[in-house]
Chain A
Amino acid sequence: DTGVSQNPRHKITKRGQNVTFRCDPISEHNRLYWYRQTLGQGPEFLTYFQNEAQLEKSRLLSDRFSAERPKGSFSTLEIQRTEQGDSAMYLCASSFLGQGTYEQYFGPGTRLTVT
């Protein structure tokens, strides 16, 4: 296992279109997180899953955003009716609850540009 992977790495879309990103966590990790990062800022928490259950969503996550983690493995983040303000790096991270330390392991991110 080489770590957390995200696809696509880059996405350019026109305003109003829908986009979907995929995250494959480290295989034994039961927690999966989505973050958004804009230029000059640190990652901002969006939502997280424990296994297939979505346990927390940030108030940053508007109703145009939806995330799923069917079967507790990979996850998808969909943005409907994209806006220019959605342009950002979308980061996925995973962790394992139960090892005693809870650091999150990040993927390389998907850079979204909305034109």
Chain B
Amino acid sequence: DQQVKQNSPSLSVQEGRISILNCDYTNSMFDYFLWYKKYPAEGPTFLISISSIKDKNEDGRFTVFLNKSAKHLSLHIVPSQPGDSAVYFCAASIDNYGQNFVFGPGTRLSVLP
């Protein structure tokens, strides 16, 4: 029973265009969400987070949107760059003390030059 779902295993985008990665969750108790990026042979790297009291958080080229009623969040990358090619994981936690993150299965993003 996957509590955090990323239904697109892979996504290809042209350099300079927008990348949109989606994440759905089933547990309404989740109130803190994060995105991690993972390159091969490295551990996941924190990218951006959002608390359930917000619906948007922005950091440079990265913006995360949260729709609590739909139990859906998305990560927008604008403009996409070839260095953004990686696996992106969505993670959720019941409280923002980060005691126990539940990760989705990941989406592999390929940014084509």
Contacts and interface: CB of A to CB of B under 8 A. Distances in A.
Interface string A90-103: 01010101000111
Contacts of A42: 4, 89, 91, 103-106
Contact of A109 (B34, B43, B45, B102): B43
A56 B36 CA distance: 23
Given A105-B46, A106-B44, A106-B45, A45 B98 contact: no
B17 to A, nearest CB: 26
B99 interface: yes
A44 B49 CA distance: 19
A103 B97 contact: no
Interface in A33-51: 35, 40-45, 48
Interface in B1-45: 4, 9, 32, 34, 36, 41-45
17 contacts: A35-B103, A42-B4, A42-B91, A42-B106, A43-B103, A48-B99, A48-B100, A56-B99, A91-B43, A91-B44, A97-B97, A103-B46, A103-B98, A106-B43, A106-B44, A107-B43, A108-B42
The 6 closest A-B pairs by CB, nearest first: A42-B103, A102-B98, A106-B43, A103-B46, A106-B44, A42-B89
Which of A40, A42, A44 counts the most chain B CB atoms within 10 A?
Answer: A42
B100 A45 contact: yes
Interface of A: 4, 31, 35, 40-45, 48, 55-56, 91, 93, 95, 97, 101-109
A42 to B, nearest CB: 3
Contacts of B62: none
Nearest to B95: A102
Contacts of B65: none
A31 B105 CA distance: 24
A56 B100 contact: yes
A43 B44 contact: yes
Nearest to B97: A102
Nearest to B32: A102
